């Protein structure tokens, strides 16, 4: 209250202003353009809301801002609801925001175009950064809501087309507050696994608000930084999101994304059968052609000449062999006859046989006497008969 002179203290004036403002503006909705937006490490948001003639400071506390499905950006027109509060130490007022929404679809589209232009300028959409999609992935990671129809459709397509593939689900919120953060976490988790060949990020159709999580900058950068190739399948064929531009490949729907990601088993079987048949025909043709060439060579005059020469030489060899054998047989017979003659000669000169016939051997002075002229009557003589040897001594 004022003193006797009608003078107020600063605190009193501020207190009365605080009371008037907070009582009269306890629930107010305000439309304006965001400027100086800051997301504090504490999780609180601080920003200004302005129009062409005025500016008001705004605060949105952590917890309340988690219900906002988009990330506010400078220049975006929004409608906020909350209450006006006064901060006495500074003597200024601010809007304590409890809810926020875009002022219209046009604002979201404008934010979409701004982010698209920004990321394009940084090169996040360049084809040179796109990774090759594997033809035969063994393990595919899926980032989506497990209670959505899109998830069931993708599983159905995978079972029909390529039952050998293994699906790894990284459950994620795909719309509303906090959806962008869960998508980023799921992408990081799949990238940390050692054997994921491909990732599909997707959800079914919806409004621009429903799909907005895939237009968030943090999601775009997470897809760009993924070392695993990413296919984006968000919404319907007419829907485009920032995730589609930054992904390695864009599919019109989640089901189409799985169609692109997996080979068709029926086509593979048909290809194998066709390849087998064509290979058999080709190999048979090559073998048949080679056989004809070999037969032609074998039956040619030039090839028969060596064969005939070999045959003639073989016949000549047989003749030589026959002659050698005949000569050997003749030599053998001659030698056999000679041997028989020698045997008879030896047998006829056999001393024992001759002694047995009555012949005797006369020996004087250890020498055989073969002639009468050599016999000395005065020398001791040894006479050998067949059965006995006697000695005669002269008288």
pLDDT at 73: 84
Give yes or no for a contact between 99 and 30, defined as CB atoms under 8 angstroms apart: no
Residue 140 and residue 50 share a domain:
no
Residue 139 and residue 75 share a domain:
no
Q: How many residues does the chain have?
A: 395
- Looking at the structure of the chain, the number of domains it has is 3
Give yes or no for a contact between 34 and 49, defined as CB atoms under 8 angstroms apart: yes
358-367: long-range contacts, CB 8 A cutoff, minimum separation 24: 358/386, 360/384, 360/385
Residue 159 and residue 93 share a domain:
no
pLDDT at 302: 63
* pLDDT values of the chain reduced to their tens digit, one per residue, 395 residues: 555 666 877 788 788 888 888 888 888 899 988 889 998 888 899 999 988 888 899 999 988 888 888 888 888 888 999 999 888 877 788 999 999 888 877 788 888 888 899 999 999 999 999 999 999 999 999 999 999 899 999 999 999 999 999 999 999 999 887 899 999 999 999 999 999 999 999 999 888 888 999 999 999 999 999 999 999 999 888 888 999 999 999 999 999 999 999 999 888 888 888 888 888 888 888 888 888 888 877 777 666 667 677 777 888 888 888 888 888 888 888 888 888 888 888 777 777 777 777 788 888 888 888 888 888 888 888 888 878 888 888 87
Domain endpoint, select from 228, 243, 266: 266
Distance (Å, whole) CA 339 – CA 34: 138
- The domain containing residue 385 runs over which residues? 351-392
Domain endpoint, select from 220, 239, 266: 266
Residue 157 and residue 221 share a domain:
yes
Token couple for 69:
């499905």
Residue 157 and residue 87 share a domain:
no
- 279 in any annotated domain: no
pLDDT at 119: 94
Residue 68 and residue 32 share a domain:
yes
Give yes or no for a contact between 254 and 233, defined as CB atoms under 8 angstroms apart: yes
Residue 357 and residue 215 share a domain:
no
- 277 in any annotated domain: no
- 371 in any annotated domain: yes
Please name which of 80, 66, 71, 79 lies closest in space to residue 114, comparing C-alpha atoms: 71
Domain endpoint, select from 214, 245, 266: 266
Residue 148 and residue 82 share a domain:
no
Distance (Å, whole) CA 301 – CA 297: 9
Q: Where are the beta strands (DSSP E) in 51-138?
A: 55-60, 77-87, 92-102
Kindly list the distances between the CA atom of residue 358 and the CA atoms of 106, 208, 213, 361, 388, in Å, as whole numbers in the listed order. Answer: 159, 151, 146, 10, 12
Distance (Å, whole) CA 230 – CA 144: 13
**Block residue for tokens 């390849």:** 275
Residue 256 and residue 181 share a domain:
yes
């Amino acid at each position: 209250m004022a003193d006797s002179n009608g003078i107020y203290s600063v605190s009193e004036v501020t207190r009365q202003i605080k009371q008037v403002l907070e009582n009269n503006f306890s629930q107010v909705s305000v439309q304006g353009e965001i400027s100086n937006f800051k997301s504090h490490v504490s999780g609180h948001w601080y920003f200004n809301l302005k129009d062409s003639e005025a500016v008001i400071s705004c605060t949105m506390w952590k917890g309340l801002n988690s219900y906002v499905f988009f990330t506010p950006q400078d220049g975006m027109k929004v409608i906020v609801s909350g209450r006006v509060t006064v901060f006495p130490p500074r003597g200024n007022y601010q809007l304590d925001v409890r809810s926020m929404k875009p002022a219209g679809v046009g604002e979201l589209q404008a934010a979409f175009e701004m982010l698209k232009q920004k990321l394009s300028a940084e090169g996040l959409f360049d084809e040179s950064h796109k990774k090759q999609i594997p033809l035969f992935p063994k393990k595919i990671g899926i980032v989506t809501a497990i209670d959505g129809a899109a998830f069931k459709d993708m599983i159905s397509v995978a079972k029909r087309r390529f039952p050998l593939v293994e699906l790894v689900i990284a459950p994620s919120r795909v719309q509303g507050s906090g959806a962008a953060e869960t998508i980023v976490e799921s992408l990081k988790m799949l990238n940390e696994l050692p054997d994921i060949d491909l990732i599909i990020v997707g959800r079914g159709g919806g409004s621009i608000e429903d799909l907005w999580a895939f237009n968030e900058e943090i999601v775009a950068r997470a897809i760009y930084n993924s070392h695993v190739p990413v296919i984006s399948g968000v919404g319907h064929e007419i829907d485009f999101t920032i995730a589609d531009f930054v992904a390695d490949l864009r599919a019109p729907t989640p089901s189409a994304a799985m169609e692109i990601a997996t080979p068709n088993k029926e086509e593979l079987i048909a290809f194998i059968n066709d390849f087998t048949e064509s290979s058999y025909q080709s190999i048979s043709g090559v073998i048949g052609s080679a056989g004809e060439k070999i037969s032609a060579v074998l039956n040619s005059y030039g090839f028969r000449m060596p064969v005939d020469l070999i045959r003639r030489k073989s016949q000549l060899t047989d003749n030589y062999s026959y002659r050698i054998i005949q000569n050997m047989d003749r030599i053998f017979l001659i030698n056999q006859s000679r041997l028989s003659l020698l045997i008879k000669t030896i047998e006829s000169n056999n001393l024992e046989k001759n002694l047995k016939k009555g012949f005797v051997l006369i020996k004087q002075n250890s020498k055989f006497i073969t002639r009468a002229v050599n016999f000395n009557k005065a020398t001791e003589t040894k006479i050998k008969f067949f059965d006995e040897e006697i000695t005669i001594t002269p008288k």
